[in-house]
Amino acid sequence: MIWILITTCLLTLSIVPPAYLQYASFAPLLSITQKKWVCAGYAVCFMAETLVLIYLFLGGQWSHSIFMFKKLYSLLWIPYFIWAVIIIRPYFFRHIYVFALRTIFMLMLHTFIYYVFYVFIHLGILPVSESSLLYPLELFVYTISYILCLPFLIRYFNEIFRNDHALSTRVYWKYICVLPCLLLAESLFFVTQSIPNVIYFEMLVPRIIISCATLLVALSVRAGINQADAIYLTHERNDALAAQIQSNQNYAQSLNESQTLMEQFYEKRREYLQKLTTLISDHDYDKALALIEHIGLKLNQTKRQEYCKNTVVNAALTTYLSAAIRKGIAVTAQADIPDCSPAFSTDLSMVFSNLIENAVHASEKQAESRRVLTLLVVRQEDMLNILIKNRFDGTVTFNEDGLPTTDAPGHGIGMKSLARFRDEYHANVICTCEKGWFSTYIRLALPAT
């Protein structure tokens, strides 16, 4: 009876490490509530399976044999997997990928441990007659070995399941998960066959080959995602620099135009003064006042809008807000941004460029009377508070990070850039779409200069 209890507990316990891997692979993407639900569900599954199996074995309904254990092993994982898929959403194809890799690893580990036991039996280290001891011992060794390997497996899945990938990987996982599933099907083929002479140590070499192929697939997936990210980020950085250069060129051109207007005004200054002196001498004050207003208008034309003291950011704001004004969008802007390091100023200017460009695109879809864009930047000591809002009557879908998503090709790059800016500078970002307004709020600490 004691061996039935020990073996049953070890059997159900050995299911937990792979199930935990299914959860831990997505842990960085989950909320605290989701984590609590997963853990609670796993605890219920473990207790229910353990109690039911003990009842069935002790009651004699099921035979306490290795063949029964093999059948149970192919079923006990199902409640854990279903519960993880239900709670951890929307990552179905990634769940399939994790399940296939973890099962191949499980089969390889079982096969290796059985082979070691086979060698020990032939060497006389383990007695063949004590068969009731061998299976619980194998389960114990397997469980400990799996737990020791968990940190490496979790680190791999956490690395490839990040949310900050430059490209969307949802469709990618839909197709890539098929590869390890095919390898798993090949590995499970002999397990499903009722062939007495097929034993674990005879399948060691085939399973080593399949495990190596699976390892190559897993490493290729990670390398492919990292390489795609690197190439995409390089192109994005080049585009950002090109946009920054264009913005600076536009700003420089604007300054040149201002200088030209000032030179023209300077050439006519004597003419204006003579006219003004004549009008005042003739007591024609109305015309004199009109001339003064005309002179003021000419002077205002020579000015260039300065939104903030940060030259790099101001160039971007001037370029993109001027473009918004030309498109008939009512712009309200006030920005208190000091001079900062060149790297931070460049990154911040790109965030402004992307967000304002998105706001302009959204405003163009609104009625002319509802085309409004508001930009407000308030500095509180070393903290920067940024608010960009525009009218938008449509529906916005947000991802797990609270940032808006889109399936339209060529769109969504600005939000990915914002996500990387948030992670790099530890900023707080909140996006909302309420009562006809889409708002983006950013709060971050100014980096030390």
Average pLDDT over residues 252-276: 72
More confident residue, 185 or 371: 371
Torsion of CA 95, 96, 97, 98, to 10 degrees: 50
- What are the boundaries of each domain within the chain? 2-236, 307-449
pLDDT at 412 over 70: no
Task: Quote the pLDDT of residue 180.
Answer: 74
Q: What is the pTM of this model?
A: 0.60
State residue 411's pLDDT score: 46
Residues 6+ apart with CB under 8 A from 62: 53, 56, 68
Tokens representing 292?
């003064």
Strands, E, within 277-414: which ranges? 330-335, 372-380, 383-391, 397-398, 404-405
How sure is the predictor about 385, in pLDDT bands with cuts at 50, 70 and 90? very high
Quickly state the pLDDT bin for 33 (edges 50, 70, 90).
confident
Q: For the chain, first and last CA: distance in Å?
A: 72
Lowest mean pLDDT, pick from 369-378, 401-410, 428-437: 401-410
Q: Token pair for residue 216? A: 């190559």
HEC letters along 130-162: CHHHHHHHHHHHHHHHHHHHHHHHHHHHHHHCC
- Rounded CA-CA distance 112/446 in Å is 55
Most confident option among 28-32, 251-255, 330-334, 416-420: 330-334
Radius of gyration of the chain (CA): 34
Query: Stretch 113-137: mean pLDDT, rounded?
Result: 73
Task: Say if residue 127 is preceded by a cis peptide, omega within 30 of 0.
Answer: no
Instruction: Tell me which of 224 and 406 has the higher pLDDT.
Output: 224
Phi, psi dihedrals of residue 132, rounded to the nearest 5° = -70, -20
Query: Residue 198: pLDDT band by 50, 70, 90 thresholds?
Result: very low
Q: What is the pLDDT of residue 372?
A: 92
DSSP H or E segment with residue 442: strand 437-445
159-168 pLDDT, tens digit per residue, is: 888 765 545 5
**Token duo for residue 55:** 């009842």
Looking at residue 403, its pLDDT comes to: 78
pLDDT of residue 299: 63
Q: What is the mean pLDDT of the chain?
A: 79
- What's the pLDDT band for 196 if we cut at 50, 70, 90? very low
Helix (H) or strand (E) holding 351: helix 342-364
pLDDT at 228 > cutoff 70: yes
Tokens representing residue 281 in the block: 């001498």
296 pLDDT more than 90: no
Lookup result for tokens 């009842």? 55
Spatial separation of the C-alpha atoms in residues 231 and 51, rounded to whole Å: 53
pLDDT of residue 75: 82
Cβ-based burial of 347 (10 A; exposed 0-12, middle 13-18, buried ≥19): buried
Per residue in 332-343, pLDDT tens?
888 888 888 888
Q: How far apart are CA 198 and CA 189, in angstroms?
A: 11
* Residue 35 vs residue 195, higher pLDDT: 35
Does residue 137 carry a pLDDT above 70? yes
Smallest Cα–Cα separation from 385: which of 440, 313, 442? Answer: 442
The pair of three-digit structure tokens given for residue 2, joined into one six-digit string: 């004691």
For the residues 247-267, what does the mean pLDDT come to?
71
Provide the CATH topology of domain 307-449. Heat Shock Protein 90 (3.30.565)
3-state secondary structure of 429: strand
pLDDT cut 90: percent of the chain above it: 11
Model pLDDT, residue 409? 44
- Counted residue by residue, the chain has a size of 449
Q: How much is the average pLDDT of 76-81? A: 88
Query: Residue 150 has what pLDDT?
Result: 92
pLDDT at 132 > cutoff 80:
no
Judge whether 47 and 180 are in contact, CB under 8 Å: no
Q: Which helix (H) or strand (E) holds 93?
A: helix 92-122
* Residue of 243 and 138 predicted with greater confidence: 138
**CA torsion sign, 275 to 277 to 278 to 280?**
positive
Contact 231, 165 (CB under 8 A): no
More confident residue, 255 or 218: 218
Q: Which of 63-72, 96-105, 209-218 has the highest mean pLDDT?
A: 96-105
Q: Which pLDDT value is given to residue 165?
A: 56
Alpha carbon dihedral 180, 186, 191, 194, in 10-degree steps, equals 160
Give the least confident one: 38-47, 183-192, 268-277, 433-442.
183-192
